Chains A and B, each alone.
Chain A
Amino acid sequence: MTVISKNSKSSSKWREFLRSRTLFAWLLITPAALFMFLIVGWPLLETIRLSFTNAGLGGEQYIGWDNYEKLLNNRKYPGIVGRTFYWMFLSVLLKMIIGTIGALLLNAKIRGKAAFRVMVMPPWIVPMAIGCIGWLWLYNGHFGILAGVLMRLGIIDGPFEFLAYKSSAFYSAVVTDVWIGTPMISIFILAAMQSVPDDLYEAAYVDGASRWYRFRRITIPQIMPVIVTMSLLSAIWTFNSFEVIWILTEGGPLGATTTMIIDTYKMAIANYKFGYGATRALMVVLSLAVFSLLYLILLNKINERYKTK
């Protein structure tokens, strides 16, 4: 008797618990979870499905691993993957270095620093397409200011189309991408720098530490977690950066600026090969997943080193 009554009691308690807390919590996150599934989960699953088909304008058929085999045997693809990582590393590195220097300058105790802080924001605030079109004009060989200045300085002899040559187009695109991505990095690092207590610097100053020494042994360790997190985010954004390259060069000339995301777009949308494009899109997902995993392991190690407890 007692056992049964206990059981029924606990099961009614369980029911009550479900009703009061867990179920309520589930109910609360369900709309968001459903939404996330619809805009992230479902397209991802659909992409995986498509990658095993020859989907195109003429319908689709299941073709197994054919797309993957074709991609792995594609002689150009390793070059595209390599270029994408090079693009990412170069752009993120520059954004972080310039962003940190920018943050240092913005953190200087000078009159009108608030104005300077606002003045660095436009590249990030201006719609990317408009910014890129501005750069298109800068890079223009006949009307662009860059070619004009270089010509007057005597560095180049005639009009130079920055975006028309394999070597210059890639680095020109990097410059534009860095221009767009740096302000936000600067602002985040600035915020981190401002959270470093003044008395740490004063203590180090009293102990005779030079400016550079203080930067190296106080500022850098104190903002390290932010630098590491921001470079991961920036890496993912840069890896997937589409607009900048597409507006400037559409991946050309001769594929010199074709990164994995541009390549995927060209294949899937421009060439209507949805199935094969989906395979390439999954490669992007896979590359980023592996990269992020490795990065997070590194992040943990760095946090371990700079942790305060």
Chain B
Amino acid sequence: MATVSLKSIKKSFDSTQVLFDINLDIEDKEFIVFVGPSGCGKTTLLRIIAGLEEATNGEIEIDGIEVSDAHPIERGISMVFQSYALYPHLNVFENIAFPLRVAKLPKAEIENLVMRAAETLQLTDRLNFKPGQLSGGQRQRVAIGRSIVRQPKVFLFDEPLSNLDAALRGEMRVELAKLHKSLDATMIYVTHDQVEAMTMADRIVVLSEGKVEQFGTPMELYHRPSTKFVAGFIGHPKMNFLKVPHLSSSSKGVSVELPEIGEQLLPVETKAENSGDELEIGIRPEDLILSKTAKGLPMKVEVLERLGGSTLVYGSVSLNQNFCALLQGDALVSEGETIKLVASPSSFHVFDSNGDAMKRQEVPEVMS
């Protein structure tokens, strides 16, 4: 239904700049997730798209039309708030009908549209309830109902699942994904939870300190994080980082010295500016396996979390005190011992001193 494009959006509150030159092109019917730690500006960016906040600088286009100064209604957006923002004195029917009443639609049509939304969201038996009588998940659905009755071009969600418990969050993730398919609309969704981002998004915008760190599909972000920040933010458990001496660079990759393993060639594309005495390598916990030989990264195991199907091992490797490895459920490991870990050279990520990633030469098929 609509494309959204942001052109050099900047935003300052008084003297504090919170958004720096944001440029994004969002395709029609895409599910876009803004993700980042709290205070990164993701909600502010969403509110600017909604028209609740004015950008200090830059332009917003929806469907190719400049809407920077337009009212939310003219932009054709609707928004679901983190707190749901349901009107406590109105029942579910009236809450969903609110935008239609504002638009002064005829009674019969309002009834028709509200009933249709209520059916989609399984709220038909709750229409006479007040929000205070509903469970968290039901309130969430009412808020979504209110945003879909108007049939907007772009849906905006501001951390809609953060007030729900973990089990319900999982359910609502699936429901939202289904909703996106059935509505065929462009959706922009803000969250600080990278799991939500990975599971729902067509493309993810990773924000940090008011800047776009990376914009890409979940698998791109996972396999080819462009910065150390993205690498650390996407994926659970978090990627492990180690500072290692840089030995040499060639077209085949960089050679680094790994603790107790010695010289290791990591297949990444190098650039002239990537030279330096020290590099930072990143390795995901799930890429690590127990070494079958005596050679491997030595890890002093401090805590074990046995989840049945897998085992999470926490401890320290070299100077990194928060190293984590995801091993098999029956891995022969015990707390206090030192284990040897290895990983395929192609699974390593390499970052230069600026935190920029060197492009990995070999990544799994799922990328394409």
Instruction: Tell me the count of chain B residues lying within 8 A, CB to CB, of chain A.
Output: 27
- B99 contacts A197, CB within 8 Å? no
Q: Mark B60-99, 1 if CB is under 8 A from A, else 0.
A: 0000000000011100011101110101111000000011
* A24 at interface by CB-CB < 8 Å: no
Given contacts A199-B81, A202-B85, A218-B87, contact A208 B132 (CB under 8 A): no
Task: Pick the residue among B78, B85, B150 that contacts A197 (CB under 8 A).
Answer: B85
Please, which residues of chain B bring their CB within 8 A of the CB of A208? Answer: 71-73, 99, 102-103
Closest to B82 in A: A199
* B130 at interface by CB-CB < 8 Å: yes
**Count class of interface residues, chain A:** 20 to 34
- B133 contacts A309, CB within 8 Å? yes
* A20 at interface by CB-CB < 8 Å: no
Give the docked Cα–Cα distance between A202 and B78 (Å): 11
Give the docked Cα–Cα distance between A206 and B77 (Å): 8
* B131 at interface by CB-CB < 8 Å: yes
Given contacts A306-B89, A308-B88, A308-B89, contact A203 B81 (CB under 8 A): yes
Please, which residues of chain A bring their CB within 8 A of the CB of B87? Answer: 200, 217-218, 221
- A204 contacts B98, CB within 8 Å? yes
Closest to A220 in B: B89
* A176 at interface by CB-CB < 8 Å: no
Please, which residues of chain B bring their CB within 8 A of the CB of A307? Answer: 89, 130
- A207 contacts B78, CB within 8 Å? yes
Give the docked Cα–Cα distance between A206 and B98 (Å): 11
Please, which residues of chain A bring their CB within 8 A of the CB of B103? Answer: 208
Q: Which of B100-159 contact A (CB under 8 A)?
A: 102-103, 130-133, 146, 150
Q: Mark B146-178, 1 if CB is under 8 A from A, else 0.
A: 100010000000000000000000000000000
* B52 at interface by CB-CB < 8 Å: yes
- A203 contacts B130, CB within 8 Å? no
Shortest CB–CB separation between residue A216 and chain B, in angstroms?
11
* A124 at interface by CB-CB < 8 Å: no
Give the docked Cα–Cα distance between A3 and B78 (Å): 73
- A200 contacts B130, CB within 8 Å? no
Please, which residues of chain A bring their CB within 8 A of the CB of B52? Answer: 202, 205-206
* B325 at interface by CB-CB < 8 Å: no
- A308 contacts B83, CB within 8 Å? no
Task: Pick the residue among B71, B102, B132 that contacts A308 (CB under 8 A).
Answer: B132
Given contacts A208-B103, A307-B130, contact A199 B85 (CB under 8 A): yes
Please, which residues of chain A bring their CB within 8 A of the CB of B89? Answer: 221-222, 224, 305-308
Closest to A200 in B: B85
* A149 at interface by CB-CB < 8 Å: no
Please, which residues of chain B bring their CB within 8 A of the CB of A199? Answer: 81-83, 85
Query: What would be 16 A-B contacts, judged by CB atoms less than 8 Å apart?
Result: A197-B83, A199-B83, A199-B85, A202-B52, A206-B52, A206-B78, A207-B150, A208-B71, A208-B72, A217-B87, A221-B89, A307-B130, A308-B88, A308-B89, A309-B132, A309-B133
Question: When A and B form their complex, which 3 residue pairs have the shortest distance between CB atoms, in order from nearest?
Answer: A207-B99, A308-B88, A208-B73
Known: A224-B89, A308-B132, A309-B133. 9 other contacts (CB 8 A): A199-B82, A206-B78, A207-B73, A208-B72, A208-B99, A208-B103, A217-B87, A218-B87, A222-B88
